[in-house]
Amino acid sequence: MVAGLLDALQDHPAGSTIRVEVAATSRRVVIPSGYNPWRQAVEVRLTEPAIRGRANHQLVEEMAAVLGVPMSSIEVIGGLKSSRKVVLLRGLSREDACRILEGRRPE
């Protein structure tokens, strides 16, 4: 496993959490679009603007699709009004989430 992605993930009693840095209003959705080693966060590009929770909703929707879990398993628990967020991945271990995201990493 890539150390960077694993560093962005933390164990949580309900599963795991992931630190993400969101770039809203991008041309296309890319999860993950990169990794920020300084902030230990997975970079994510979303097409929705950061207005009235639209980017947060898209983040939940797209993370659920990427990870193959229902939307109810994904929740933004930190940074609702920030580009730096903490997302809860219910029922998904840190290692499993890392494995899935690692397979989608851009070259």
Q: How far apart are CA 79 and CA 81, in angstroms?
A: 5
**C-beta of residue 87 within 8 angstroms of C-beta of residue 24:** no
| Tokens linked to 34 | 């990169």
CATH architecture of 3-89: 2-Layer Sandwich (3.30)
> Model's pTM, two decimal places?
0.92
Rg (CA), the chain: 12
Over the stretch 8-36, which tens digit does the pLDDT of each residue have?
999 999 999 999 999 999 999 999 999 99
Question: What is the residue extent of each domain of the chain?
Answer: 3-89
Dihedrals phi, psi of 19, to nearest 5 degrees: -85, 130
Q: How far apart are CA 44 and CA 105, in angstroms?
A: 11
